Structure 1
């Protein structure tokens, strides 16, 4: 069982405050073994147009299938950032992804330009659900726990009071079933659940002396919340002051995404045992009016990831950010200046911390091309990399001894 830090989640779970006997004294212990790396999964919900985000700018088939406003081109107002990732194709990141291009040129990023689900689905629900637990085909037997929850169970310190977070109002599917996992949209009001004295009394009655998995999970969640709350700085009035990121890092200008990234960074600095975090970024289902909407989303994503990268630069342990969407968009644009659900999309990852060298630096996955005979069903960029293979590579580079469990393959 996991815990959502908001009033609705509190009432649903019957948990209100970390004041059970014994819980008040819990705090994070200093790790007794080398610290495990932190894996941050950023889900781009809605199906990001990978061909607009990362364009083979000199590919004639791309220019014949869509207007220049949906291509990161080689010149003009829409000129993208050249990556020099391939000797055969001029790949360009979207013009609003300048900060991400900088991370690539720093040698700290890997990109899989044609990755996705083996299952030929264009359903958001189906693709997101299967990617949450690590499935790839309809014949795979679903498992209740998310793949990142399983990975965290293999890599986290066993007595860690907090191992994973979703930096949002609800826990992501990838962390379903995780022990010592919390949904934390923000720490501006602290980490203790709301409820005051009444909440404490309710918790004492409902969970203090109960047995079973639900009560145990409740106590685990409260231990994590209480420990985290005790680590937060407070002023003379008992208020939590605004989070102060590293010098030069500005989360406020990135609105909602900035708050999520700031939460990840803040918890990562406070909790050396945190091994997994997720952030959901919506707004990528661009069936119409894509040029302006897409540019705004890419700008926000690029600035948010760059801010997190800079804020975690001095973290004394390894960390990796993995970014993926459930699928890409069609090669050919539609009549509404948008693109419809497609197949392969872009997965990318970058890392830092503890003076590390990112082991997958400048890795560039297989590119099948956009020639008519290379397309899937004649309309879509073909999936050349199973998303699970990309995820395995990223996780193995961060924690070689932490196996990533997937349905098969």
Structure 2
């Protein structure tokens, strides 16, 4: 069960169907005992990011003939994208606002799947996001009582009380059912409950004698929050000191997205047993006026991930950032200067930390092309990589030998 500390400090229990073990006496684990636990950070670009605007086959004749210039990255000129030299025969260019991400690729610390998505043909935000969150192949398919990331974190993480973290004020589907999970958008003011010590005492009294999974979640979350709060550095007056990112990382230019990423990084350093985290960046549903809106989103994504990469670079354990969206968008623009819901999109991952490099560096997934006979339904980039296969590869590289997600589906 994931406990949520919302923007207004309201603590509430997330519901899951599985019973919880007793965690009443939970205390924070010795950092030395959890130093080798890997960390997977999921960044979900909600709204359906246009993968072909983010990563363009700049010299593909079908692409240049069917895509308006303002919604693609060129090989040269004012709209020239960042050249990747990913595969022979096609000049793939990252959006010019993604220079830092292109730099990570050139360092050999990034893998990209340019035509990934859910197997089920769907253009529904709700349906596609739900399929991905539960780790399904199609809507209605049987799944467990936990999102795929929560299940993987519980199977992979150590004895730490905070294994899964949503760096925002809600628990995403991927983390539903995390029995040692929290949703915390910021640590800037500590983790004091509403009403201070009195409020904490009331919540403890409420859950102390109660039975059942919600009561167990309440007790465990209070212990987790109190333990994490005690680790926050404070001045002589008891005020929480601002987080100081490592290596000159600056989350400020990425605004709220940056604050969420900074919270994840801060908890990762305070609690070495943190195994999984999730952060959303919305605003990718670009049905109209895409050019300017998309440019702003890419710059925000680039700034936030660049700061996170710098901050975590010297983390003594391995970490990976996995970036996905529920689907891509149509090849042809619409009459409003935007793109409608499509099928395949771009999934990418990068990592570092620990004593070995990112083993999937410069891996580039299959590309189906954009000729008329290659398109799905004649309008969409075809899915050539089941998103679950891309995720499996990322998890297997990060935590060799650990249980994989999705079973054999």
Q: Could you state the TM-score of these two structures normalised by the residue count of structure 2? A: 0.94
Following superposition of structure 1 onto structure 2, how do residues 158-197 of structure 1 map, counting pairs within 5 Å? Answer: 159-197=159-197
Structure 2 residue 313 is matched with structure 1 residue 313: yes
Following superposition of structure 1 onto structure 2, how do residues 47-58 of structure 1 map, counting pairs within 5 Å? Answer: 47-58=48-59
Q: CA deviation at 1:188?
A: 0.2
Q: CA deviation at 1:2?
A: 1.2
Determine the structure 1 residue equivalent to 2:269.
269
Determine the structure 1 residue equivalent to 2:18.
none
- Whole-Å separation in 2 of the counterparts to 1:123 and 1:33: 40
Determine the structure 2 residue equivalent to 1:341.
341
Following superposition of structure 1 onto structure 2, how do residues 34-49 of structure 1 map, counting pairs within 5 Å? Answer: 35-49=36-50
Q: Deviations over 1:148-189 (max 9, x none)?
A: 0000011111x3111010100101110000011000100001
* Structure 1 residue runs without a partner (length 5+): 15-21
Report the secondary structure of 1:206's partner residue.
helix
- Contact 2:115–2:385 (CA under 8 A) maintained in structure 1: yes
Determine the structure 2 residue equivalent to 1:18.
none
Q: Deviations over 1:32-77 (max 9, x none)?
A: 3662110000000000000000000001111111211111111111
Following superposition of structure 1 onto structure 2, how do residues 202-351 of structure 1 map, counting pairs within 5 Å? Answer: 202-351=202-351
- Contact 1:132–1:174 (CA under 8 A) maintained in structure 2: yes
- Contact 2:111–2:364 (CA under 8 A) maintained in structure 1: yes
The verdict on how the C-alpha distance between 1:231 and 1:257 changes in structure 2, with shifts beyond 3 A counting, is same
Q: CA deviation at 1:140?
A: 1.6
Q: CA deviation at 1:25?
A: 9.0
Structure 1 residue ranges, 4+ long, deviating more than 6 angstroms after superposition:
22-25
Q: CA deviation at 1:217?
A: 1.4
The verdict on how the C-alpha distance between 1:232 and 1:291 changes in structure 2, with shifts beyond 3 A counting, is same
- Whole-Å separation in 2 of the counterparts to 1:85 and 1:311: 27
Determine the structure 2 residue equivalent to 1:70.
71
Report the secondary structure of 1:32's partner residue.
helix
- Whole-Å separation in 1 of the counterparts to 2:340 and 2:316: 43
- Contact 2:26–2:220 (CA under 8 A) maintained in structure 1: no
- Whole-Å separation in 1 of the counterparts to 2:375 and 2:102: 27
* Structure 2 residue runs without a partner (length 5+): 15-22
Determine the structure 2 residue equivalent to 1:116.
117
The verdict on how the C-alpha distance between 1:193 and 1:122 changes in structure 2, with shifts beyond 3 A counting, is same
Q: Deviations over 1:252-303 (max 9, x none)?
A: 1221111011111111111110000000000000000011110110011011
- Whole-Å separation in 2 of the counterparts to 1:251 and 1:82: 26
- Whole-Å separation in 2 of the counterparts to 1:235 and 1:394: 40
Determine the structure 2 residue equivalent to 1:138.
139
Task: Give the superposed CA RMSD.
Answer: 1.8
